[in-house]
Amino acid sequence: MADLSSWLRDPLAHRALDALVRAESRLTRRLAAELERRGLSATAFSMLVVLASAGGPLELRSLRLRLGISKANATEVSRTLAGRGLVERRRSERDRRAVTIEITAAGERLIEELFPAHARRVRDAFVPLDDEEKRELTKLCRKLERAA
């Protein structure tokens, strides 16, 4: 096996990336497990949460940018949710090329049912961090996101 360490210009960056990816993967799996038992992916749940708090329909483009997901993924997830009667997809009246997404009453009921327990799981997942550490983690992640 080749010794790849000689190619690393910044080993600390690689350790930070490894720690970030591992933590994200574990947290995502832990938080998504209950949602998946209810037939929702984490992305679908996030989409419903954004739509529930939007106060009206959102263009798919705006929704996908808020969630940080690809056009293909946003289209697939919104179609799946529409097929389950949780959202409505319509052509935009303003721009017929655009699609608007709006949460349905059934989608709102599902969010009202699932969100309180999800919020508790998120809170519990971050118990090891104090408030200052949570603020710093948020700041660092946003800084990395902007630089990417």
State pLDDT tens for residues 50-75: 999 998 999 999 999 999 999 999 99
- The whole-number pLDDT of residue 95 equals 79
Q: Are 108 and 52 in contact (CB under 8 A)?
A: yes
Buried b (16+ CB within 10 A) or exposed e, 59-97: ebeebbeebebeeeebeebbebbbeeebbebeeeeeeee
3-state secondary structure of 8: coil
State pLDDT tens for residues 110-145: 999 999 999 999 999 999 999 999 999 999 999 998
CA dihedral 19, 33, 40, 113 (to 10 degrees): -120
Q: Are 101 and 58 in contact (CB under 8 A)?
A: yes
User: How many helices, marked H, and strands, marked E, lie in the chain?
Assistant: 6, 3
pTM for this one? 0.84
Amino acid at 134: K
Half-sphere exposure of 48 (CA within 13 A, CB side): 28
Which among 103, 112, 118 has a CA at the least distance from the CA of 35?
118
Which among 93, 86, 96, 97 has a CA at the least distance from the CA of 40?
86
Pairing of strands 87-91, 58-59: unpaired
Is CATH 1.10.10.10 what the domain over 30-147 is classified as, yes or no? yes
